[in-house]
Amino acid sequence: MRLWALGMIFGLLAMTPSSPASAQHCSPARFAEAGYIVCTVDPAAEDLRLFWQGPEGAPYKHFMNLGAALADQDERLVFAMNAGMYLPDFTPSGLYVENGEELRPLNTISIEAEPAKTPNFYKKPNGVFFLSEAGAGVMTTEAFEASRPPVRYATQSGPMLVIDGELHPALIPGSTDRTRRSGVGVCEDGKVRLAISEDDVNFHDFARLFRDELKCSNALFLDGGNGTGLYDPSIRRRDVSWHGGFGPMIGLVE
């Protein structure tokens, strides 16, 4: 009986979340026969930020490193996700703004090649996700360059998934190019929705998730394959990148 009681205690401890109770932001969803985790944030009321480097200038690379750095400041990382493509040294591939400081410039390079041979970042139009005093937004790179809105945080990636309610014109229904994917959208209620697929999905179905299910008029692809990752202790997710780490990350802080 004593051993049984001890086993019950340890079982309950294992089931207890490792962080204080708070509203659930990430939850499972299904769309077009694929599973997803969708995280929802109200940028007007919650502290959503982008992260790349620690105080010493080295990339965080891992969600646990970011969480520990925030804990040292008496803050808590509620959840986090990869936030855009990056170079082998974990430098963002395009524009990156943190705390109002532009750390990487807007990347307007075009690659003239067959679509299948063009890296995802350069499949035009690509775009920028940003957070400003006015709220969150997703714009094509061309629109962002033309307007240059003042932003607190920004990350550039590509391709765009949804542009003013329309799917990116290059996305192919029924494409066999399927992998795990992550993305971000700004939706009709002004909320930010981040999604990461649990199954391999093609670009077209992933874009439809944002437009048709999540009601996001603009959405941006963040990364795919081993570049995707989610951290959310409340649902027991602490993903590790098989690339040795992540570049930019997006996280909700309390």
Is the pLDDT at 17 greater than 70, yes or no? no
pLDDT digits (tens, 9 = 90+) for 50-97: 999 998 999 999 999 999 999 999 999 999 999 999 999 999 999 999
3-state secondary structure (DSSP) of residue 22: coil
pLDDT at 4 over 80: no
pLDDT tens-digit readout, 168-225: 999 999 999 999 999 999 998 899 999 999 999 999 999 999 999 999 999 999 999 9
pLDDT(242) > 90: no
Question: What is the per-residue burial (b if ≥16 Cβ within 10 Å, else e) of 221-247?
Answer: bbbbeebbbbbbbbbebebebebebbb
- Taking the whole predicted model, whether its pTM rises above 0.75 is answered as yes
Residue that is written with structure tokens 């920004």 in the block:
154
133, 140, 163, 195, 207 from 160: Cα distances, Å: 23, 7, 7, 14, 9
| Mean local confidence (pLDDT), 236-249 | 93
Average pLDDT along the chain: 91
